[in-house]
Amino acid sequence: MSTGDLVVLDASVGVKWFKPEPGREAAMALLQRAAAGEIVLAAPTHFAHEVLSVVRRQFSPADVVPAWRLFESVGMNIVPLNAEVVAEAAIQCERLGCSFHDSLAPACAALLDATLASADARAHGAFPGVLLVAE
């Protein structure tokens, strides 16, 4: 697979898998493409925390387990927080004018030479080649 097939997700995309909100169809399409092996998904560690917290609020604590299994079933790669990610996040924070928290997905995309997918145009709209999922 080429690096063009790697998509780093911001949590704003993953949340749409579990909440009926604008952009859900586009977010689901990314999930389906990953399940079909057309793309590979990756996300920073906090993606899982944020999305699973939404699952717990929307449904029940027991529903976080099947949600996690969904991540696993599509081969989602969780990028751990480390010195390299933190350093790149600081750079992205400055470049994009966003919070450190919002700079983590762009940092992972930059480090992995991947496409960033986000539903947060305010935080990520200036990231080169960003795939904006409608809000």
22-73 tens-digit pLDDT:
999 999 999 999 999 999 999 999 999 999 999 999 999 999 999 999 999 9
Choose the weakest-confidence range: 2-6, 26-30, 39-43, 114-118: 2-6
Q: Read off the DSSP letter of residue 3.
A: G
User: Token pair of 51, please?
Assistant: 């999305």
CATH code matching the domain that covers 3-132, chosen among 3.40.50.1010, 3.40.30.10, 3.40.50.1110, 3.30.70.120: 3.40.50.1010
Average pLDDT of the chain is 94
- The amino acid at residue 39 is I
Domain boundaries, the chain: 3-132
Strands (E), the chain: 6-9, 40-44, 77-79, 115-118, 131-132
pTM, entire model: 0.94
